[in-house]
Amino acid sequence: MSEPKAYPSLEENPVRDFSLPTPTDLTLARGGLRMLFAVLGVMFALFAVAYSMRMHMGDWQVLVDPWQLWLNTAMLIAGSVAMEIARQSWRRGRTQWVGPALLIGGGFAVVFLAGQLWVWSMLTSEGYLVNGNPATSFFYLITGLHGLHIVVGLGFWAYGTGKVLRGAESAQRAGVSIELCSSYWHFLLVVWLGLFALLANT
Amino acid sequence: MNEPQSFWTKYVWSQDHKVIAVQYSITAIVAGIVALVLSVLMRMQLGFPDSVPFMDSEAYYQAMTLHGMIMVIYLLTALFLGGFGNYMIPLMVGARDMVFPYLNMLSYWFYLLSVIVLMASFFVPGGPTGAGWTLYPPQAILTGTPGTDWGIITMLISLAIFIVAATMGGLNYVTTVLQARCRGMTLMRMPLTVWGIFVATIMALLAFPALFVSAVMMLFDKLLGTSFFMPAVVSMGQALDYDGGSPVLFQHLFWFFGHPEVYIVALPAFGIVSDLISVHARKNIFGFRMMVWAIVFIGVLSFVVWAHHMYVSGMNPYFGFFFAITTLVIAVPTAIKVYNWVLTLWRGDIHLTVPMLYAIAFISTFVIGGLTGLFLGNVIVDIPLSDTYFVVAHFHMVMGVSPILVIFGAIYHWYPKITGRMLNDTIGKTHFWITFIGTYAIYFPMHYLGILGMPRRYYAYENYEFIPQSAHDLNSFISAMAIVVAVAQVLYIYNLFWSYWKGKEAGPNPWGATSLEWQTPQTPPVHGNWGEKLPEVHRWAYDYSVPGYDEDFVPQTQPQPEDRPAGEMA
């Protein structure tokens, strides 16, 4: 009998026999979060597509965006910077900075939300209602959905910040929270910048 | 890993992928039975008009809508991804569980909630929506369509919850495949079942947001009076407040989800059927790499064909031309898969086990349904056939019967691993033949009705001059067959229960299969799947009938000859 050979086996044309490193909680969570960003990115992009298709239907009246949106944008940027400081401090072991930076980062997000609600109440009082012109409807829809994602983020932020403030007992788990929260903050900032550009230019 | 202790943590609030898979499957099958009953009610009305007292036009449309929606989303998508995906991915890639078990548990509970909300719509004032599973505005939310008060709202909310559930599950499946494979399990050594589910999951993650967006915007139109999709409408003699919205925009969004959805259901079926054929023909799958790439190409292409569902919406002819081309191009990788299945069977050591019967039956129904898809993909052929029974026949063959046959085969194939017992062969074969021949008897004649011009979505066909008596007779025949097939499903369910207690002991690997799930230290696999040590993979999943080995299969865990000391044979 001839030499036993795995007839069409892939070993004949050897595939790199790599062994995957044991993934840590952080790499796994980061992988999952990136997929989530893809999903949310598609969702917001589709809202943008719907927006630009609806825009051409004839009855569109450009909504003049309130100046407060610029202020809110600045808040969101500041929040992102603070979260990044928290992350970098954590990575470099400057733990005394982490808690305050996290609190500031979350605080700016809360201020952003308050600012968005301020814009909403102003528009409402000026008679721009959600069931008015589609430009206005989209404004409420898009800012509302973005705000909702910030609210959900704040939930996770509260959970993670609580762990950090309580101490080092679950240090590694807290690290995961800090990493994920700051990525999420950056992501929602990027989404907002895109949406803001769309809303402001049309 | 913490072993769950009490009954509750073990079977109810479980984070074990295998328990979650079973929870998902049972829920999906129960929902599917509801949809099956609805289809019988519809067929009663069509074949024997007025035989069911409460089946008026409203009830008919409600049954039709819920039948479609449940079958496509709450049964097929949930069963393939939540059921098979959950059970198979960790076992087949050699992981202890999904990477985010808690999220996985949440995914199931959100799914269950979405099903409960959906079923609740049967009991809300006005009943469930009757807008058709596509939920096209403006009719979906206007007076005259059944269920416009509550039904449509519960429908949309249920869909939104389902999408959240599917996203939580999907993130898990993708991350598990990418990051938790055992040593030696390269991507190109994963069984095609995992490939199919993996690509389908990515598609689901990217396509479901479109449904979410359309559902949210429609809820706004319905509840807050926006005009995203709603044009100026005069309803019941009264001008409504809507103005300027675009129903076609909804159609684009819906089908940007809806077409990939077809392949979200089809790709897992493709993957699973490849494995069934290979195992039961004792032969490696023909053209494995080609099969993987075909799955990937189909996944990508399916995102650029959506407007072939909208040929009659009045689109620019060049637009239609583009979508006809992409639609026909997708036939190429699909045909490659069909050839490869047939070539795997060619000169194989075919065991006509029950799973193999289902697999072969799948090839047949899928080819029939796929070929009529080529007809409908052409704009010029589609326009006269649009909204006729030809379309009903097409999509029931290609994405109703075909994936369901795979599911039957797959449950039959993996039941021994899940429960430790074999399903009963006699019941299995009886169920198979009734279902296979029966579904042909139902759907094949519908092609003729369609070419005759018989419109779909009508609840009564009396007093139309162009519909001859023979068409009515055929309709009665179809309905009789539908009832036979529906009743025959009791056999399968009975088999699942009976074999659970009385079935033959299966042993760890009754089919002599190579992939990892058959190499677990215990059957059924226990929490953590692999005991002390994770498996190591040394070969692909298709070493069947390899010359020089005593057995006609070589498990993936078995080292290559050159890895072992000289002189030792397998």
Query: Do A6 and B172 count as a contact with CB atoms less than 8 A apart?
Result: no
pTM: 0.94
CA dist B133 and B115 (Å) reads 15
Q: How is residue B370 written in tokens?
A: 């796929």
Tell me which residues of chain B, numbers 517 to 546, contact chain A at a CB-CB cutoff of 8 Å. 538-540, 542-543, 546
Which candidate, A34, A22, A178, A158, places its Cα nearest to that of A93? A178
How deeply is B547 buried, as exposed, middle or buried, from its count of CB atoms within 10 A (0-12, 13-18, 19+)?
Answer: exposed
Q: How is residue B88 written in tokens?
A: 């198979």
Q: How is residue B136 written in tokens?
A: 């096209």
How far A155 CA sits from the closest chain B CA (Å)?
16
Query: Do B540 and A17 count as a contact with CB atoms less than 8 A apart?
Result: no
Query: Do A9 and B560 count as a contact with CB atoms less than 8 A apart?
Result: yes
In angstroms, how far apart are the furthest CA atoms of chain B? 90
pLDDT, tens only, B182-227: 989 999 999 999 999 999 999 999 999 999 999 999 999 999 999 9
pLDDT of residue A95: 81
Query: Do B228 and A59 count as a contact with CB atoms less than 8 A apart?
Result: no
CA dist B412 and B504 (Å) reads 13
Residues of B in contact with A13 (CB under 8 A): none
Domain ranges for chain B, please list them: 12-230+243-519
Query: Do B226 and A8 count as a contact with CB atoms less than 8 A apart?
Result: no
- Chain A residue closest in CA terms to B552: A6
CATH number of the domain located at residue range(s) B12-230+243-519 in this protein: 1.20.210.10
Query: Do A131 and B184 count as a contact with CB atoms less than 8 A apart?
Result: no
| Regions of chain A with pLDDT less than 50 | 1-21
Compute φ and ψ for B3, nearest 5 degrees. -75, 125
- Decide if A12 is inside a domain: no
pLDDT, tens only, B395-410: 999 999 999 999 999 9
The answer to whether residues B331 and B232 touch, using CB atoms and an 8 Å cutoff, is no
Measure CB to CB from residue B175 to each of A32, A54, A145 and give the nearest one.
Answer: A32
- Which of B36-42's residues contact partners 24+ apart within 8 Å by CB, and which partners? B36/B486, B36/B489, B37/B486, B38/B63, B38/B64, B38/B66, B38/B67, B38/B70, B39/B63, B39/B67, B39/B482, B39/B486, B40/B482, B40/B483, B40/B486, B42/B67
Which of B93, B163, B174, B179 is the best substitution to test chain A (most A C-beta atoms within 10 A)? B179
Compute the half-sphere exposure of residue B495: CA atoms within 13 Å on the CB side of its CA: 22
* Residue found by looking up tokens 């099958």 in the block: B29
Specify the amino acid at residue B55.
M
CA dist A178 and A173 (Å) reads 9
Query: Do A46 and B256 count as a contact with CB atoms less than 8 A apart?
Result: yes
pLDDT of residue B569: 45
- Decide if A14 is inside a domain: no
pLDDT, tens only, B385-442: 999 999 999 999 999 999 999 999 999 999 999 999 999 999 999 999 999 999 999 9
Query: Do A28 and B179 count as a contact with CB atoms less than 8 A apart?
Result: yes
Specify the amino acid at residue B493.
I
Q: How is residue A142 written in tokens?
A: 């898009």
Q: How many residues does chain A have?
A: 202
- Decide if A161 is inside a domain: yes
Which of B106, B220, B286, B552 is the best substitution to test chain A (most A C-beta atoms within 10 A)? B220
Q: How confident is the model at residue B11 (pLDDT cuts 50, 70, 90)?
A: confident
Measure CB to CB from residue A42 to each of B174, B209, B216 and give the nearest one.
Answer: B209
CATH number assigned to the domain comprising residue A49: 1.20.120.80
Residues of B in contact with A43 (CB under 8 A): 209, 212-213
pLDDT of residue B86: 97
What's the domain range around A90?
23-58+67-200
- Decide if A7 is inside a domain: no
When divided into structural domains, chain A yields a total of 1
The answer to whether residues B163 and B205 touch, using CB atoms and an 8 Å cutoff, is no
- Residue B419 sits at the chain A interface (C-beta within 8 Å): no
Q: How far is CA B70 from the centre of its chain?
A: 11
Once rounded to an integer, what is the mean pLDDT over residues B53-80? 96
- Chain B residue closest in CA terms to A48: B213
How far B225 CA sits from the closest chain A CA (Å)?
5
- Chain A residue closest in CA terms to B550: A4
Q: Read out DSSP for B105-172?
A: HHHHHHHHHHHHHHHHTTTSTT-S--STTTT-TTGGGSTTSTTTTTHHHHHHHHHHHHHHHHHHHHHH
- Residue B209 sits at the chain A interface (C-beta within 8 Å): yes
pLDDT of residue A16: 33
Tell me which residues of chain B, numbers 268 to 287, contact chain A at a CB-CB cutoff of 8 Å. 284
Query: Do B179 and A23 count as a contact with CB atoms less than 8 A apart?
Result: yes
Residues of B in contact with A58 (CB under 8 A): 244
Measure CB to CB from residue B539 to each of A2, A6, A29 and give the nearest one.
Answer: A6
Q: Considering only B247-256, B317-326, B554-563, which range has the smallest mean pLDDT?
A: B554-563
Compute φ and ψ for B239, nearest 5 degrees. -75, 130
How far A96 CA sits from the closest chain B CA (Å)?
31
pLDDT, tens only, B71-119: 999 999 999 999 999 999 999 999 999 999 999 999 999 999 999 999 9
Q: How confident is the model at residue B564 (pLDDT cuts 50, 70, 90)?
A: low
How far B67 CA sits from the closest chain A CA (Å)?
27
Q: Number of Cβ pairs closer than 8 Å across A and B? A: 148
- Residue B473 sits at the chain A interface (C-beta within 8 Å): no
What mean pLDDT is reported for chain B? 94
Q: How is residue B333 written in tokens?
A: 């990788």
- Chain A residue closest in CA terms to B287: A8
* Residue found by looking up tokens 């059921």 in the block: B83
Query: Do B226 and A50 count as a contact with CB atoms less than 8 A apart?
Result: no
Q: How is residue B51 written in tokens?
A: 């035989």
- Decide if A89 is inside a domain: yes
- Residue B228 sits at the chain A interface (C-beta within 8 Å): yes
- Chain B residue closest in CA terms to A47: B213
Query: Do A50 and B179 count as a contact with CB atoms less than 8 A apart?
Result: no
Residues of B in contact with A134 (CB under 8 A): 226-228, 244-245
Q: How many residues does chain B have?
A: 570
Q: How is residue A8 written in tokens?
A: 């069409």
Once rounded to an integer, what is the mean pLDDT over residues B279-308? 96
Q: Considering only B7-11, B175-179, B224-228, B525-529, which range has the smallest mean pLDDT?
A: B7-11
Q: How is residue A17 written in tokens?
A: 């026999």
Specify the amino acid at residue B120.
A
A163 versus B15: the higher-pLDDT residue is B15
pLDDT of residue B485: 98
How far A46 CA sits from the closest chain B CA (Å)?
7
Specify the amino acid at residue B503.
G
Q: How confident is the model at residue B10 (pLDDT cuts 50, 70, 90)?
A: confident
Query: Do B244 and A9 count as a contact with CB atoms less than 8 A apart?
Result: no
Query: Do A137 and B210 count as a contact with CB atoms less than 8 A apart?
Result: no
Once rounded to an integer, what is the mean pLDDT over residues B350-373? 97
Residue B553's beta-bridge partner residues?
Answer: B544
Specify the DSSP class assigned to residue B519: G
Query: Do B206 and A42 count as a contact with CB atoms less than 8 A apart?
Result: yes
How deeply is B435 buried, as exposed, middle or buried, from its count of CB atoms within 10 A (0-12, 13-18, 19+)?
Answer: buried
Query: Do B548 and A5 count as a contact with CB atoms less than 8 A apart?
Result: yes
Once rounded to an integer, what is the mean pLDDT over residues B532-536? 88
Which candidate, B226, B298, B250, places its Cα nearest to that of B136? B250
Q: How far is CA B318 from the centre of its chain?
A: 32
Query: Do A46 and B213 count as a contact with CB atoms less than 8 A apart?
Result: yes
Q: Is A151 helix (H, G, I), strand (E, B) or coil?
A: helix
CA dist B484 and B538 (Å) reads 48
Residues of A in contact with B566 (CB under 8 A): none
